[in-house]
Structure 1
Amino acid sequence: MQGLLELKPYRVSAYNLAKNSENKMHDDTVARRFGFSGGLVPGVDVFAYMSHMPVEVWGRGFLERGVMEGRFLKPVYDGEIAEVTAQEIDGGLVLKVESKGELCATGRASLPASAPRLQLDDFQSVAPVVKRAPVDVGSYEPGKWLGIPTYRQGVEPLAQYLSDIREAAPIYRDEAIVHPGTLLRIMNWALMENAILGPWIHVGSTIQHLGVASAIDELTVRAKVTANYERKGHRFVELDGIIVANGERPIAHCQHTAIYQPREIAAA
């Protein structure tokens, strides 16, 4: 591992990729109604910024078997500088994202000797609902399985995405590897493809890489709702799932937490 003193901060000019998203928490006007100063840069993209550090340290090995968790504490805003720092502790990395003088996200990353072996049969493959209904408590019942339409990123869209998240590591372009930020974006779709959501907030995720995915691979999700609860007026949902390449190869195991109904909406 590179020594701590050699790990320089990684600075990104944050870009809100989701201004036109169905999730209006990324829209300036709607976000201000919730007390934010503008549309939020998606958590999946803040996670993408953070993932630069373990790739800088461990290279392809991290994308094949590494583990990273991220929790989002404060918003990162479009056009602001997001500074990612890493400390080496107990053979892993402790990560932070700061912007405008505030701690916006924290995380940890490590590199196990090998990736765990998961059985596809332990994760149920389902299609998304035929017709989405407005979200309610029953949309994400614990034990329910969620899926998405098959997704293939493609080489040119991959290049555009890397440009949009300001990714400096050459490995993604050189080897046409799907970025960790895209993998988490796919997990978001498991929520979005199965209900009509209002403004909602990605709280945190953990990803265990099991192998790399190519931009030409067909990707699907097999995600189980593991929890659905209220806390401080917010409605939370937790997912446990895998991302599968070409219907046969697990490439990531993810835990995903989101506020699917912020208290302002739940109280309406």
Structure 2
Amino acid sequence: MARALESHVVKAYNTAKQSENKMHDDTVARRFGFAGGLVPGVDVMAYMMHLPVAEWGRAFLERGLMDARFLKPVYDGETVEVSGSESDGVLTLEVVSRGELCATGSASLPPAAPAIALADFRDVGPVAERQPIGASSFVEGTWLGTAPRAWPGATGAAYRADIRESDSIYTREGLGHPGLLQKVMNRLLVDNVILGPWIHVGSRMQILAPLQPDDEITARAKVIANYEKKGHRFVELDALVVANGKTPLAYCHHVAIYQPRQQAAA
């Protein structure tokens, strides 16, 4: 029988209003049929992470497995409820806002983190000069990399405040929030191509080691799919997020609409 989890309720905050991705801008997002700028999917996934961390604590931050699928937008300032249930060691997660199901997901705690070889992911940096999105962008088999990012000290605390994270485990245990790993995954797109408005639609993440607050993080990814569906252009990436050039932190699968149909048809 499924066991209900204590819900996590937050007031959503759009951290990306000033970002290059104008899908987070109210005016542009409305042109695509949304009510306003979208709260980033990586932040919605970070809201969802609260429940498995509350369930398993540090163990989840060391080896947890989680996936998320974003179904409808979450908007700045709106109340968001993350609810879940546990059955046979698996958490089923839902995000509701405005009375609508906005995201679904699941989380579990493997007995050990899988061994992922660093050498299996080509160590490339971002392109020297980004080009506008086009037919040659995200070709299957292409390797992508990111510029290093870090959120030490106050910047890590500011990030947790932005995602409305109330769990004291990060300060108590001296750990970084795993939502930052997903932020770096987004950089695989924007560090390599000049994009128009685009949408993160889903992710799967297997944590391999805990993030330390002063870690410098990069991601290495292979483009495994590039296709059209319902007029949208999608890209799928398999990636390894790495700390300080040597420690695998997470193995991730990332899916995004890099050209929404209105833009692709333009």
* Displacement of 1:136: 1.4
**DSSP 3-state at the match of 1:252:** strand
The alpha-carbon distance between structure 1 residues 179 and 137, as it changes in their structure 2 partners (threshold 3 A), is farther
**Aligned residue pairs: how many?**
266
Match for residue 238 of structure 2?
A: 240
Match for residue 17 of structure 1?
A: 15
After superposition, give the CA deviation of every residue in 1:122-175 in whole Å (9 maximum; x if it has no partner): 000001101101011311011111111111211110000111111011112223
Match for residue 61 of structure 1?
A: 59
* 1:266 partner amino acid: A
User: Contact 1:155–1:176 (CA<8 Å) still a contact in 2?
Assistant: no
* 1:159 partner amino acid: A
Residue 82 of structure 2 is aligned with which of 75, 81, 84?
84
After superposition, give the CA deviation of every residue in 1:198-239 in whole Å (9 maximum; x if it has no partner): 000000000000011112111111111000000010000000
User: Contact 1:158–1:176 (CA<8 Å) still a contact in 2?
Assistant: no
Distance 2:172 2:160 in 1: 12
Match for residue 125 of structure 1?
A: 123
Distance 1:46 1:24 in 2: 18
**DSSP 3-state at the match of 1:137:** coil
Distance 1:143 1:125 in 2: 14
**DSSP 3-state at the match of 1:174:** helix
Distance 1:185 1:70 in 2: 14
User: Contact 2:145–2:218 (CA<8 Å) still a contact in 1?
Assistant: yes
Distance 2:80 2:262 in 1: 28
Distance 2:174 2:146 in 1: 22
Distance 1:34 1:177 in 2: 38
Q: Tell me the C-alpha RMSD between the 2 structures.
A: 1.2
Distance 1:234 1:6 in 2: 36
| 2:50 is the counterpart of 1:52 | yes
**DSSP 3-state at the match of 2:132:** coil
User: Contact 1:23–1:197 (CA<8 Å) still a contact in 2?
Assistant: yes
**DSSP 3-state at the match of 2:137:** helix
After superposition, give the CA deviation of every residue in 1:65-124 in whole Å (9 maximum; x if it has no partner): 110000000000000011000111221100000000000000000000000001111000
Residue 207 of structure 1 is aligned with which of 202, 205, 208?
205
| 2:104 is the counterpart of 1:106 | yes
TM-score by length of structure 2 reads 0.98
Residue 93 of structure 2 is aligned with which of 87, 92, 95?
95
User: Contact 2:13–2:163 (CA<8 Å) still a contact in 1?
Assistant: yes
* 1:181 partner amino acid: G
1:143-182 correspondence to structure 2 within 5 Å: 143-182=141-180
User: Contact 2:2–2:87 (CA<8 Å) still a contact in 1?
Assistant: no
Distance 1:175 1:134 in 2: 42
TM-score by length of structure 1 reads 0.97
Distance 2:4 2:234 in 1: 39
**DSSP 3-state at the match of 1:229:** strand
* Displacement of 1:6: 6.4
Distance 1:177 1:141 in 2: 36
Distance 1:169 1:212 in 2: 16
Identical columns (%): 59
Distance 1:136 1:152 in 2: 30
Residue 138 of structure 1 is aligned with which of 121, 136, 139?
136
* 1:182 partner amino acid: L
User: Contact 1:223–1:242 (CA<8 Å) still a contact in 2?
Assistant: yes
User: Contact 2:5–2:86 (CA<8 Å) still a contact in 1?
Assistant: no
Distance 1:255 1:223 in 2: 9
* 1:218 partner amino acid: E
The alpha-carbon distance between structure 1 residues 55 and 4, as it changes in their structure 2 partners (threshold 3 A), is farther
The alpha-carbon distance between structure 1 residues 6 and 97, as it changes in their structure 2 partners (threshold 3 A), is closer
**Unmatched runs of 5 consecutive residues or more in structure 1:** none
User: Contact 1:97–1:103 (CA<8 Å) still a contact in 2?
Assistant: yes
* 1:47 partner amino acid: M
